[in-house]
Structure 1
């Protein structure tokens, strides 16, 4: 159970960091090119959300392959674990997006 919580937490923060960090850097870049940083940050957060999920769960098709093979073999607990990792990564990406939206709320 401890390794599950560790990996789920790491997946959450990887996805959160990809969205939050990427959006903040995009906002800095927007300042350099004299565009509205808040609008660029929100747009970037929305576009990075799916890529943050991919980066957090491994960046390949392996998690989907693990779900398929374990489902076919009847190992449903392993399928649930993989889906939980994906959900944790999605939650991290979503929280990063919502934080960026909240920070840029009045400026967009």
Structure 2
């Protein structure tokens, strides 16, 4: 299924794409596996004064927030045995990000400035 995109306002939006490793919002890439933590996190994205997507709420026009689910772990055998008990030694292995649990809230882009050049009205 994939990421869930929720549109918060009407209008034009930045393009959102999900590759095998990166979520891209406009020109901003997020490495979802590298950013995922043991608890859910939200990444806020805004347009700066030059129209570039940057991380943070205070940069300018708020365009999106991305919520990544907490990391999931699976207990797996290491292939080694405890020398005293003979029991298998286990370790926790981080699982790939469940993209079905990634949520992107998006807000419309700001209106384009009106062109005030070139005409008498």
TM-score, structure 2 length as denominator?
A: 0.26
- The structure whose residues are more often strand, as a share, is 2
TM-score, structure 1 length as denominator?
A: 0.28
Which of 1 and 2 has higher RCO (CA within 8 Å, sep 6+)? Answer: 1
